[in-house]
């Protein structure tokens, strides 16, 4: 049971480049989320999705784009990376609105 | 909007001792959910314990228990018989009943268990 996976685990890119972080879950959970983790801020929600083709903004959506064409995948794209987007990114999923969220292993992204 | 405050950035305790991590939150809702997540050096976010606000009984999971004080909006985590493997960042999180899919996290407490 693979659960929820993220790729890549580490990524270094340059300012202005497009980067896509992948998230895949094998549980058929309806809800999926993207968070970023920064020192002093805990985890902050970037975007979430309630089902395939349904997405909504979280607390810090600027500079990010998401899509969800299949239930199991929820990619996060930085269209033009900036240094302020250097962070650790977590994907999570849950089966219903009131169930516990389960997290992927995270992706450490560095923008030079 | 809800806020979650963890006022202890760092804590340390001797192995086998008991430690309590504090969490307070602010909300106008009556029904909601509270969580403690553990993040060890591996960076994986692991659920430690979950509490539903409508339940008066404090949740427990083996050595982990909470002290949920709804009126005071306090949700502390007690770790008994602490082990070296408990060394981690601990995050308190709030889930609204109106949108539990969106969690609000505190800034975390770094806990070190000293051998």
Does B43 contact A105 at a Cβ distance shorter than 8 Å? yes
Closest alpha carbon to A29 in A46, A43, A50: A50
Provide the terminal-to-terminal Cα distance of chain A, rounded to the nearest Å: 36
Which chain B residue is nearest to residue A107, measuring alpha carbons? Answer: B43
Beta bridge partners of A103: A92
Per-residue pLDDT band at A2 (split at 50, 70, 90): low
6-65 of B, contacting A, C-beta below 8 A = 33, 35, 37, 42-47, 50
A48 touching B (Cβ < 8 Å) = yes
pLDDT in tens, A68-92: 999 999 999 999 999 999 999 999 9
d(CA B54, CA B43): 31
According to DSSP, residue A73 is labeled B
pLDDT in tens, B22-58: 999 999 888 899 999 999 998 999 999 999 999 989 9
């Amino acid at each position: 049971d693979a659960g929820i996976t993220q790729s890549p685990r580490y990524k270094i890119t340059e300012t202005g480049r497009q980067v896509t972080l992948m998230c895949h879950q094998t549980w058929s959970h309806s809800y999926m989320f993207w968070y970023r983790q920064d020192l002093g801020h805990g985890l902050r929600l970037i975007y979430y999705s309630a089902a395939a083709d349904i997405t909504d903004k979280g607390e810090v959506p600027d500079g990010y784009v998401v899509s969800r064409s299949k239930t199991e995948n929820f990619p996060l794209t930085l269209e033009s990376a900036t240094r302020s987007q250097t962070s650790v990114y977590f994907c999570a999923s849950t089966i219903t609105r009131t169930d516990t969220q389960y997290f992927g292993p995270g992706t450490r992204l560095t923008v030079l | 909007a809800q806020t979650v405050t963890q006022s202890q950035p760092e804590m340390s305790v001797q192995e086998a001792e008991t430690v309590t991590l504090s969490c307070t939150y602010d909300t106008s809702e009556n029904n909601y959910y509270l969580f403690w997540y553990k993040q060890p050096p591996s960076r994986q976010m692991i659920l430690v314990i979950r509490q539903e606000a409508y339940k008066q009984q404090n949740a427990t999971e083996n050595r982990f228990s909470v002290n949920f004080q709804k009126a005071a909006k306090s949700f502390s985590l007690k770790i008994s018989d602490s082990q070296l493997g408990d060394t981690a960042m601990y995050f308190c999180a709030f889930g609204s009943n109106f949108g539990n899919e969106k969690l609000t996290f505190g800034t975390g407490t770094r806990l070190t268990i000293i051998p």
